[in-house]
Structure formats: structure tokens, C-alpha cells
């Protein structure tokens, strides 16, 4: 069965080279990867509604005949408008933007019966849906259907087709003998092909089984990793450059920063390799600690490297650290996937002969031809975005390299010990002085006009605004980054409204962020790509649309983009119209609480098992399903000792299965 799971995605009918490549960019390489794209929820498709029964804003299934279709607009802006008539003779208009190709779709000829699911709106006396999912009626199966999030530009519906094919392959393979095999197959079957009468507790149990497996595989990797951690290493305690750096900082270290800095200086002077995890809340000031640590090794002629999970963040660190080190005459270089060939060659040369002492970058730093003259310190920022082994990879670029990892993920200490058993922990509590708690409000979508007025007031004071939209694609329900940016541009004609999302070219992303940072544009509509680390102190307001879709820890991260100066910061959580009581409670907690750790714990209490399905918020440690914010109990109930009790055969199983659970490297 593992053999099937590790087959490349391209063996599926309909996955050509171009699609395979796009999926690969989203880390979906094997059938197993695809099958870990779990449903977000399940639709009750046991019955359909007549058009007369529709309710505004409530997702519904409708069957009907195509009455006519019409194309409007030109070129890229073409849209398709399709009239559907149901058995009672009522009409529903379906609108598809940028969908000229659908005009020629044979399945949509007049008189054909189709079935759609979407969110209806009542507008000028008519029912309409934009971008509903649709199928010809013959392909429709009544029952519960899994709902998948879009992936690599494919709609959830298209994904579900591929997942069904992958499941068939899996079920068709030879009889299974091992325990892990059977558990995995059963769990995947329960989740992807639910029974006619859906039992959410069974689905939850299947999720749990998968998570247990993922955790055991992780522990196994951790155990292998631990074996070679303790190593003698060079001593660094020459504080000359460090003192210079401290003197030119525009602020004094907080007590918490000073304490952490003490931990690190002790580690570096110990003669043993450091492996320290620095945990500090969003905005606590971790970057300057990284700079100090780098200065310490550079003072003795050695090299330091800092790796960040996104290009956006790496670039920002480059700018910050350049600002700190330039006055000391120390050059700081940046290496990412988009560094030009020539610049890259020069940089690598300087790195190899030691002329360059500080290198910042993305996982491009891990490429084989990146060779250091004498790397003494590897630093990994937002390390929870990297897998258990990946966080050590950078240290392999030298001998006995000290490791400093940083994270803002608020996880309780006991959990951190279980997950990062291979590291020493430093907790940096509190924020730099003068920060005011970010004023947080929950707002109904209908209040947009008032929100706009508030934005204008803030812009009049030269504040800057983030506006977060949950998706990029035009093919899903809800508004896209581009559409929201366009709308805001119309509403704020005096401003330059920018759009940012992970799929833009790196160059474009840099341009957008630097325009926003410099104030050339003051409104930025973005996906959660700004979630980690981005630091624009002038940003005063963050608006988070469909805020109920996020976990509290993630909302806390996003909120941390503002309130990074002594000016009052604001966060507006805009809630959709179909809000459950728990969802509302969660948003209210967010309003009242400003402590990352407390929020993570509250989230856990407020969610039921069913609620937690398909919702991950921290992406900790490169886990695919496990979420320390939600799965604390599971994590605490299995530790390294559990592994010692496994039989040799079971251990072999774990090794085999680890290729399936291969941790993901998070991307932008
Ligand atoms: P994070 O811990 O989230 O990585 P950053 O390192 O980006 O936080 O720091 C956030 C902001 O706080 C930066 O603008 C930084 O210059 C500032 N800062 C850091 N330390 C202090 C301090 N001791 N006093 C005042 N401001 C500080
Ligand atoms: Mg940071």
C-alpha cells in the first residue's frame, strides 16, 4: 500500500505535466500527499432545494435545466450568465467570471439538466449564485459529499474527482497485513468516502487515528535526530561587535530580551553545540536577538546564516540586518530562489572564501552549492514552518554549527518539550515598552460603510492598513484578493490600493511590500502571506474578512502585524452572516484577550471535535494534520518511551510509513 501512496501524482488520469508541476509547487507530489488534502467539511446532498426554498447566504443544492446562456464583456473580463429553471418553473441566474471557455462547454447546452451548489443571493428580485459548483445531473450522487478546499488553482470539485481516483487505486491494491497499513486505509476511506448517513464522530475518530500515526512518525524522526545532537563546538565570547551593536540600537533591550541574550551567550561560550529554541510572542523583538548572536560569531571571524520560511520575510530581515550591520562595516547578503544567476555566483564565491560573514535567505540556503567558509551559527526564523529534520539542515553546512531557532507560536511549555525535545527553550515574555494593546472589534459584514469611514480617518493620520482576504482564487465562493482590491480602490479613489498573494512572482511581491513599507501605497489587500514576521511599524489597522474561518492562534499572528509602534493599533474582525454561537464566542475572546498562549488554550476549549475537523492553525513543525494548539492531549499521551515499547517490526513499519508523512516545508 505504501507503494501506491508514494506513486507520483502524474499516474492519475487527467494529471498532465503542467498540472503535476503546479501541484508539486504546493508540495503535492505523491498520491499520499493528495490524500492528505482532507475535506474541510461535508455537504448534506441527500436532498436538493427548489429555488423557492432558497435563503440568502445559505449554501444550497439545486437541480435544474439550462434555459439559456449569455456571454458578457470582452477578453479576459468575459463572464458567463446562465439561467437555470427548476421543476416548479422558478429561475436562478448563475454567474461565472473569466469563464469564456465555458460558453463552448457541451454539458451546458440549453435543455441539459445540471445540478449546482452555491451560496444564493437575492438581487433586484432575482435569485443568483456566483461561481457555484456544477455537474451534469447524471454524475451526481445523493448523500453526503466531502467538500475540499481549492488547491493549485483547481476547484474543490475538481480535486474531489482526483481524490476519488486515488482512493480507487488504494482500495484496489493487494491485501494488507500490517496494523499501520490497515489503520491508514480505514481512516482515509472513512474520511474521503463517507457513508450515506454521515457520522461525524466516526470522521473525528479517523482524523484522530491519522494524527496518532503522524505523531509516532515524528517521534521516530526526533529520536534518530537526538542521537547526534550533543557535540563539542567552538567557543564564542568576544563581545566587541556586540557592544557596538547594542550601543547603536535606537532602544534598550527589554528585561526579557536581556535574559534570553544571557542564555545565548552562555550557550555560545560553553564549548558544546547550542540548540536553542527562542519562543516569543508576535512583536516581542526576536530579530534583534538574532542580530546579536550573529555579531558574536562574526566578531571571531566566523559566519552566520539566517533562514526564513518566506521570501517576503527573508527580504525584510535582509533590510533590517543591513541597517544594523552596515554602520559596523559588515556586509549582509540575501539569497533566495529569485536571486539572479550572476549575483548568485558572486555571492557564493564570497561566501566560500569567507569574505561574506552574514547570509540571509529562504530554504534556497540549503541548496547543495551553497558552501560556507566557516559557518558557526545557523538561525531559523519562524521555525515551526519547517519540519523536524529541516530545522537542522542548515547546521549541516559546517562542522558543529550552533543552532538558534525562533518561533512565535504560542504552545504551552509541556507541549513544546514534547515536540522540541531536541532543543533547549528560552521564553521571551512580554512586548517592548510603550505598546498599547491592539483595540479589537468584531464587525458584521453589513457595517462596511462605517468601516470605510474609519479607514478614511486613519489614512488622514497617515496610518497604513492591511486588509486580509482568505483566498486567492476566483473559482471559490467569497471574494478574492483581486476583487477586494478593486472594490476598495473604487471606494478610496485617492489611495493606491495594492494586492498581494503567495502566487505572485517574487519580484512583484517585493515591490508591493516595499511600496507599502515606504508609504507609497497605504492600503494592502493580502492573503495570509503576511501572516508571519512581516514588520511595517506604521501599519495601524488590520481588517480580517471572514475572520471566523481562522483559528485564534492564526488570528493572533495576523493581528500582530499592527501595533508594532507606540501608536494605537486596531484590528477589525469582520464576520460572515452565518455565524454559529461558538464562532461568535471565539471572535469575542479574540476581542478581549491579547495573550497568544491563553488564546491557543481557549481555542482548544471552545472547539468540539467536529469543529476542529479540517481546521489547522499553526502548521507547527511541518505537521500535516497535527496541530499542537488543538491536539495537546494526543501529543502528551505518546512520548519517546512509547517508541521503545514497539516491536522491531512495528519500528520498521514506522520507517516505511514516514515517506508518506514526509513533513511539508511550508511555502508562501
Ligand atoms: P518578532 O519577535 O515578532 O520577530 P520583531 O523582531 O520584528 O518582532 O520586532 C518588532 C518591532 O519591535 C521591531 O520594529 C523592532 O525594532 C522593535 N523592537 C524590538 N526590540 C525592542 C525594544 N527593546 N524596544 C523597543 N522596540 C523594540
Ligand atoms: Mg519575527
Do 486 and 403 have their domain in common?
no
Would 372 be classed as within a structural domain?
yes
Strand pairing partners for 135?
Answer: 115
Q: What's the distance, CA 454 to chain centroid?
A: 29
From the list 561, 515, 521, the residue with the least C-alpha distance to 539 is 561
Whole-number pLDDT of residue 533: 66
Quick one: pLDDT at residue 297?
97
State how far the Cα of 594 lies from the Cα of 582, in Å rounded to an integer: 19
Give tens-digit pLDDT for 129-174. Answer: 988 889 899 988 888 889 888 787 788 888 999 999 999 988 887 6
Higher local confidence (pLDDT), 251 or 180 = 251
Q: Residue 650 falls within a domain, yes or no?
A: no
**Does 164 reside within a domain?**
yes
Residue 107, domain member (yes or no): yes
Q: Which ligand is nearest to the CA of 278?
A: 1
Same domain (yes/no): 403, 539: no
Question: Angle at CA 83, nearest 5°, toward 82 and 85?
Answer: 145
Ligand 1 binding pocket mutation candidate from 281, 432, 538 (most atoms within 8 A of CB)? 432
At 518-564, the pLDDT tens digits run: 899 999 999 887 766 678 889 999 999 989 888 887 888 899 899 88
CB 532 within 8 A of CB 309: yes
**Cβ–Cβ under 8 Å, residues 469 and 542:** no
- Assess whether 423 and 477 both reside in one domain: no
Give me the number of domains the chain comprises.
4
Among 540, 567, 594, give the residue marking a domain's end: 594
Query: Is 311 contained in some domain?
Result: yes
CA of 455 to the centre of ligand 2 (A): 27
Give the integer Cα–Cα distance in Å for 492 and 486: 10
Cα Rg of the chain, angstroms: 26
Q: Name the β-bridge partners of 289.
A: none
**CA triplet 644, 650, 651: central angle to 5 degrees?**
60
| One domain for residues 67 and 123 | yes
- The verdict on 110 and 163 lying in the same domain is no
Based on the fold, state whether residues 409 and 377 are members of the same structural domain: yes
Q: Do both 523 and 560 map to the same domain?
A: yes
What does the pLDDT look like over 163-205, one tens digit per residue? 999 999 888 876 556 666 788 888 999 999 988 777 888 998 9
* Ligand 1 nearest atom to the CA of residue 287, by list position: 6
pLDDT higher than 70, residue 619: no
The answer to whether residue 608 scores a pLDDT higher than 70 is: no
Q: What is the CATH number of the domain that holds 458?
A: 3.40.50.300
Residue 284 near ligand 1, beta carbon < 6 Å: yes
Burial class (CB in 10 A: 0-12, 13-18, 19+), 576: middle
Residue 259 pLDDT greater than 50, yes or no: yes
pTM equals: 0.75
Same domain for 567 and 452, yes or no, is: yes
Asked whether 295 and 302 are in contact (CB, 8 A), the reply is: no
Residue 285, domain member (yes or no): yes
The answer to whether residue 665 sits within a structural domain is no
- C-beta of 251 in contact with ligand 1 (< 6 A): yes
Residues 6+ positions from 605 with CB-CB distance below 8 Å: none
Q: Long-range contacts made by residues 636-645, C-beta under 8 angstroms, separation at least 24? A: 636/414, 636/415, 636/418, 638/212, 638/215, 638/216, 638/219, 639/219, 639/418, 640/219, 640/222, 640/223, 640/421, 642/216, 642/219, 643/216, 643/219, 643/220, 643/223
Q: Are residues 408 and 329 in the same domain?
A: yes
3-state secondary structure 188-218: HHHHHCCCCCCCHHHHHHHHHHHHHHHHHHH
Share of the chain above pLDDT 70, in %: 91
**Residue 133: predicted pLDDT:** 86
The pLDDT value recorded for residue 465 is 96
| Domain span including residue 12 | 1-43+144-194
Please tell me if the CB atom of residue 646 comes closer than 6 angstroms to any atom of ligand 1. Answer: no
- Is residue 440 helix, strand or coil? strand
Same domain for 310 and 260, yes or no, is yes
Strand partners, 659: none
As a whole number, mean pLDDT of residues 437-462 equals 90
* Domain-ending residue, one of 559, 594, 629: 594
- Tell whether 520 and 387 lie within a shared domain: no
Q: Are residues 160 and 33 in the same domain?
A: yes
CA separation for the pair 498, 513 (Å, rounded) = 9
Domain-located, residue 631: no
Amino acid at each position: 500500500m505504501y507503494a501506491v501512496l508514494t506513486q507520483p501524482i502524474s499516474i492519475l488520469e487527467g494529471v498532465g505535466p503542467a498540472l503535476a508541476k503546479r501541484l508539486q509547487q504546493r508540495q503535492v507530489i505523491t498520491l499520499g500527499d493528495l490524500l492528505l488534502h482532507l475535506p474541510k467539511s461535508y455537504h448534506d446532498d441527500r436532498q436538493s432545494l427548489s429555488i423557492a426554498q432558497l435563503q440568502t447566504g445559505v449554501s444550497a443544492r439545486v437541480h435544474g435545466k439550462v434555459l439559456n446562456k449569455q456571454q458578457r464583456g470582452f477578453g479576459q473580463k468575459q463572464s458567463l450568465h446562465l439561467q437555470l429553471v427548476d421543476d416548479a418553473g422558478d429561475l436562478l441566474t448563475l454567474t461565472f467570471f473569466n469563464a469564456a471557455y465555458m460558453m463552448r462547454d457541451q454539458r451546458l447546452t440549453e435543455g441539459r439538466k445540471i445540478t449546482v451548489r452555491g451560496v444564493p443571493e437575492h438581487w433586484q428580485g432575482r435569485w443568483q449564485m456566483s461561481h457555484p459548483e456544477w455537474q451534469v445531473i447524471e454524475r451526481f450522487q445523493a448523500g453526503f459529499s466531502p467538500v475540499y478546499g481549492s488547491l493549485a488553482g483547481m476547484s474543490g470539485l475538481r480535486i474531489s474527482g482526483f481524490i476519488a481516483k486515488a482512493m480507487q487505486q488504494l482500495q484496489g491494491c493487494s491485501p494488507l497485513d500490517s496494523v499501520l497499513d490497515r489503520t491508514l486505509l480505514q481512516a482515509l476511506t472513512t474520511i474521503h468516502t463517507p457513508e450515506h448517513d454521515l457520522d461525524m464522530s466516526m470522521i473525528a475518530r479517523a482524523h484522530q487515528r491519522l494524527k496518532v500515526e503522524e505523531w509516532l512518525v515524528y517521534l521516530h524522526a526526533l529520536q534518530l535526530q537526538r542521537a547526534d545532537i550533543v557535540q563539542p563546538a567552538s567557543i564564542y565570547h568576544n563581545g566587541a561587535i556586540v557592544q557596538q551593536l547594542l550601543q547603536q540600537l535606537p532602544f534598550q533591550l527589554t528585561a526579557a530580551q536581556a535574559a534570553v541574550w544571557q542564555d545565548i551567550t552562555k550557550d555560545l561560550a560553553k564549548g558544546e553545540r547550542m540548540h536553542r529554541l527562542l519562543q516569543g510572542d508576535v512583536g516581542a523583538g526576536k530579530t534583534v536577538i538574532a542580530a546579536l548572536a550573529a555579531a558574536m560569531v562574526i566578531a571571531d571571524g566566523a559566519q552566520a546564516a539566517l533562514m526564513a520560511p518566506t521570501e517576503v520575510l527573508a527580504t525584510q530581515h535582509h533590510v533590517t540586518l543591513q541597517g544594523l550591520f552596515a554602520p559596523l562595516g559588515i556586509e549582509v547578503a540575501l539569497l533566495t530562489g529569485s536571486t539572479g544567476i550572476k549575483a548568485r555566483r558572486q555571492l557564493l564565491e564570497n561566501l566560500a572564501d569567507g569574505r561574506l560573514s552574514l547570509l540571509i535567505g529562504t530554504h534556497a540556503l540549503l541548496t547543495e552549492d551553497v558552501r560556507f567558509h566557516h559557518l558557526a551559527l545557523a538561525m531559523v526564523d519562524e521555525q515551526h514552518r519547517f519540519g523536524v529534520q529541516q530545522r537542522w539542515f542548515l547546521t549541516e553546512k559546517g562542522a558543529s554549527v550552533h543552532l538558534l531557532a525562533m518561533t512565535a507560536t504560542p504552545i504551552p511549555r509541556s507541549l513544546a518539550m514534547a515536540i522540541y525535545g531536541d532543543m533547549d527553550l528560552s521564553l521571551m515574555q512580554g512586548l517592548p515598552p510603550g505598546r498599547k494593546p491592539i483595540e479589537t472589534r468584531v464587525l458584521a459584514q453589513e457595517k462596511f460603510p462605517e468601516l470605510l469611514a474609519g479607514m478614511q480617518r486613519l489614512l488622514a493620520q497617515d496610518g497604513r492598513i492591511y486588509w486580509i482576504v482568505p483566498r486567492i482564487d476566483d473559482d471559490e465562493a467569497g471574494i478574492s484578493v483581486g476583487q477586494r482590491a478593486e472594490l476598495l480602490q473604487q471606494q478610496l479613489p485617492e489611495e493606491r490600493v495594492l494586492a498581494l498573494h503567495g502566487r505572485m512572482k517574487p519580484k512583484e511581491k517585493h515591490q508591493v511590500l516595499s511600496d507599502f513599507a515606504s508609504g507609497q501605497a497605504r492600503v494592502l489587500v493580502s492573503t495570509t502571506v503576511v501572516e508571519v514576521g512581516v514588520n511595517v511599524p506604521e501599519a495601524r489597522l488590520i481588517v480580517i474578512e471572514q475572520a471566523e474561518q481562522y483559528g485564534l492562534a492564526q488570528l493572533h499572528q495576523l493581528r500582530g502585524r499592527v501595533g508594532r509602534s507606540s501608536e494605537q493599533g486596531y484590528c477589525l474582525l469582520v464576520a460572515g452572516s452565518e455565524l454559529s454561537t461558538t464562532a461568535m464566542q471565539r471572535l469575542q475572546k479574540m476581542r478581549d484577550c491579547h495573550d497568544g498562549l491563553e488564546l491557543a488554550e481557549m481555542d482548544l476549549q471552545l472547539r468540539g471535535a467536529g469543529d476542529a475537523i479540517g481546521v489547522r492553525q499553526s502548521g507547527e513543525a511541518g505537521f500535516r494534520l497535527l496541530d499542537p494548539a488543538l491536539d495537546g492531549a494526543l501529543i502528551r499521551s505518546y512520548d519517546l518511551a512509547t517508541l521503545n515499547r514497539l516491536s522491531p517490526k512495528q519500528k520498521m513499519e514506522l520507517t516505511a510509513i514516514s515517506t508518506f508523512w514526509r513533513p511539508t516545508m511550508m511555502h508562501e
